[in-house]
Chain A
Amino acid sequence: DGGITQSPKYLFRKEGQNVTLSCEQNLNHDAMYWYRQDPGQGLRLIYYSQIVNDFQKGDIAEGYSVSREKKESFPLTVTSAQKNPTAFYLCASTQQKNYGYTFGSGTRLTVV
């Protein structure tokens, strides 16, 4: 079955470390998105990519970086510049035809 795979499910980061969250899709979707979700809040857009080798900042891009070298993959790096990285991170993808999003199951990042 097609879908989006996020890994790992749980991730622990020490202060000052960079960590990378994986997002892979086999839906042949053009666009991919990264969201951050904090307790009791909605989803906030970090970065998005409409095509390979191109991406745009979302509303809260500071302290994060992404790449889109392959259509299937859109990894998110949480850098040491992100001061409060503890959150639930969700990856999504869609065709460009306004079909709505398909989501991964999320990665919970905790700073220790």
Chain B
Amino acid sequence: AQSVTQLDSHVSVSEGTPVLLRCNYSSSYSPSLFWYVQHPNKGLQLLLKYTSAATLVKGINGFEAEFKKSETSFHLTKPSAHMSDAAEYFCVPLQAGSARQLTFGSGTQLTVLP
């Protein structure tokens, strides 16, 4: 089974500065990976998805993530943080062939300071 580690439980950035949310995966083969975002008291929204088609994946709201096999990483980045980016972010591996496709960990809380 695939698993991921989100290296930071909390990240704080100033508005206008870059965002980096780290995610490392553990898998014996190339995984499928998702980044989801959850704003307070809302459901989860898919930001982007990696399925081995391209290593640099562009998502919504200016986010992107690069799959690096050599580093077993799939970090989420954004060049310039906006106040509306403050939310919880989940890096989630796909358990292919399982009815329980996605298993969610505790995520990374992003705070954006004015």
Contacts and interface: CB of A to CB of B under 8 A. Distances in A.
Interface of A: 4, 6, 31, 35, 40-43, 45, 48, 50, 56, 58, 88, 90, 92, 94, 98, 100-106, 108
Which of B101, B103, B104, B107 has the most A CB atoms < 10 Å from its CB?
A: B101
B107 to A, nearest CB: 6
Closest 8 pairs (CB-CB, A-B): A103-B43, A43-B104, A42-B106, A103-B44, A42-B104, A105-B43, A42-B105, A106-B43
Contacts, number: 52
Contacts of B43: 4, 6, 90, 103-106
Interface string B70-114: 000000000000000000001000101101111111110000000
9 contacts: A40-B106, A41-B106, A42-B104, A42-B105, A42-B107, A90-B43, A92-B44, A100-B94, A105-B43
Interface of B: 32, 34, 41-46, 49, 90, 94, 96-97, 99-107
B32 to A, nearest CB: 7
Contact of B42 (A4, A92, A94, A105): A105
Nearest to A35: B104
Given A45-B100, A48-B100, A101 B44 contact: yes
Nearest to B45: A103
A24 to B, nearest CB: 14
Contact of A106 (B42, B46, B97, B99): B42
A100 B100 contact: no
Which of B44, B90, B105, B107 has the most A CB atoms < 10 Å from its CB?
A: B44
A35 B107 CA distance: 15
